[in-house]
């Protein structure tokens, strides 16, 4: 019985270690903007408040997407999404790939994130 318990705990520790190593660390937007080449084409995680949002969302269809600006108090960055665009004032956490030359609707927004995952802050 002791051997099974030890094997269980070792397996659990290894699993937690591997999963936590795969998650990118949250960065401040100021840190990303000060050295964008360090994060270019890599997953980044930022959190903040949505300040601007432009996009489309047609209910009951797959027509959605747009761009929104996240401000974390140190700076702001544009985020491109193929999902529905969050409302202004919403607190979000965003994970995605950092790209230079983010384009939406014929306009270039410069440095930005292509969204892969988004979380809303619970109240």
At 99-110, the pLDDT tens digits run: 988 888 888 888
- The verdict on residue 43 lying in a domain is yes
- Asked whether 112 and 92 are in contact (CB, 8 A), the reply is no
At 29-88, the pLDDT tens digits run: 999 999 998 989 889 999 999 999 998 878 788 888 999 999 999 999 999 999 989 999
- The verdict on residue 7 lying in a domain is no
What confidence score (pLDDT) does residue 27 get? Answer: 82
Q: Mind giving me the DSSP string for 57-98?
A: E-TTSS-EEEEEEEE-SS-EEEEEESSPPPPTT-EEEEEEEE
Residue 57 belongs to a domain with what CATH number? 2.40.50.140
- The verdict on residue 1 lying in a domain is no
Q: Give the total number of structural domains in the chain.
A: 1
DSSP state of 86: P
User: Average pLDDT in the 8-36 region?
Assistant: 70
Residue 119 or residue 60, greater confidence: 119
- The verdict on residue 20 lying in a domain is no
- The verdict on residue 3 lying in a domain is no
- The verdict on residue 113 lying in a domain is yes
């Amino acid at each position: 019985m002791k051997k099974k318990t030890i094997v269980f705990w070792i397996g659990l520790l290894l699993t937690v270690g591997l999963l936590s190593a795969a998650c990118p660390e949250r960065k401040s937007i100021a840190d990303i903007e000060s050295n964008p080449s360090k994060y270019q084409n890599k997953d980044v995680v930022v959190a903040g408040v949505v300040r601007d949002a432009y996009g489309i969302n047609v209910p009951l269809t797959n027509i959605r997407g747009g761009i929104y600006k996240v401000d974390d108090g140190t700076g702001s960055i544009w985020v491109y999404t193929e999902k529905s665009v969050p409302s202004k004032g919403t607190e979000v956490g965003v994970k995605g790939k950092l790209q230079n030359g983010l384009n939406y609707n014929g306009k270039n927004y410069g440095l930005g994130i292509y969204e892969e995952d988004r979380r809303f802050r619970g109240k």
